Amino acid sequence: MPKSPRPRTSPKKTVYNYFPTKEDLFFDEVPEREAALVAAITGRRKGESILQALRRLQAAECPRLCSPGFATFARIIEESTALKAKELEVMSRFVQVLTETLQAELGLDERDARLTAGLLVSVHRQLFRAARKQALAGKHGPPATRRLRADLDRAYHLLEHGLGELERPSQDLDAIHTA
């Protein structure tokens, strides 16, 4: 008597069909954030510099990063070595994407584009870290948003005017920090 064929089963559908790792699931907004960084550069306003466009994009994110709910997100990252490693991987990916975008948009050679992208992403990473630090300290709402935007303004000021600004008298720097 011939054996009856086994019924065909389709592969199990799980969340990991869409997210390769648990960490990817946690950082589910990364593709949208990456696309926003690229769009800020490629779709910037007439006469707007890349620095101005990215500063505008990141300043618009400050209220979300200073919301009470962000503290839970921040705490989970801080308590997980795997998530902190994933964050570094994400930032490395952002550097690669911005390198390619800067090469295409400005015609920069790879070395200059990578250096520039690294500086831009370092501001992005520090903004995210500062937001986490504030959230974990229980600081949120408009005062936290103002502080985060002041930090962002300071970072972009240094990018726009050069790191030589660090050698200016501290009272001059305080004016920039509290803007």
Q: What is the pLDDT of residues 41-95, one digit of tens each?
A: 999 999 999 999 999 999 999 999 999 999 999 999 999 999 999 999 999 999 9
The pLDDT, as a whole number, for residue 48 is 94
The pLDDT, as a whole number, for residue 23 is 79
CB 152 within 8 A of CB 127: yes
174 confidence band (pLDDT: 50, 70, 90): low
CB 37 within 8 A of CB 47: no
The pLDDT, as a whole number, for residue 91 is 96
The pLDDT, as a whole number, for residue 4 is 54
The pLDDT, as a whole number, for residue 177 is 52
Report the chain's mean pLDDT, rounded to a whole number: 87
Judge whether residue 22 has pLDDT over 60: yes
What does the radius of gyration of the chain's CA atoms come to, in whole angstroms?
21
Place of tokens 């002041």: 150
Tokens of 163: 């790191």
Question: What backbone torsions phi and psi does residue 128 show, to the nearest 5 degrees?
Answer: -65, -40
118 confidence band (pLDDT: 50, 70, 90): very high
Judge whether residue 14 has pLDDT over 80: no
The pLDDT, as a whole number, for residue 179 is 47
The pLDDT, as a whole number, for residue 41 is 96
Angle between helical axes of 142-161 and 170-177 (0-180°, round to 10): 130
- Cα–Cα dist 4/138, whole Å: 64
The pLDDT, as a whole number, for residue 10 is 54
Judge whether residue 1 has pLDDT over 60: no
Tokens of 87: 């964050």
The pLDDT, as a whole number, for residue 165 is 72
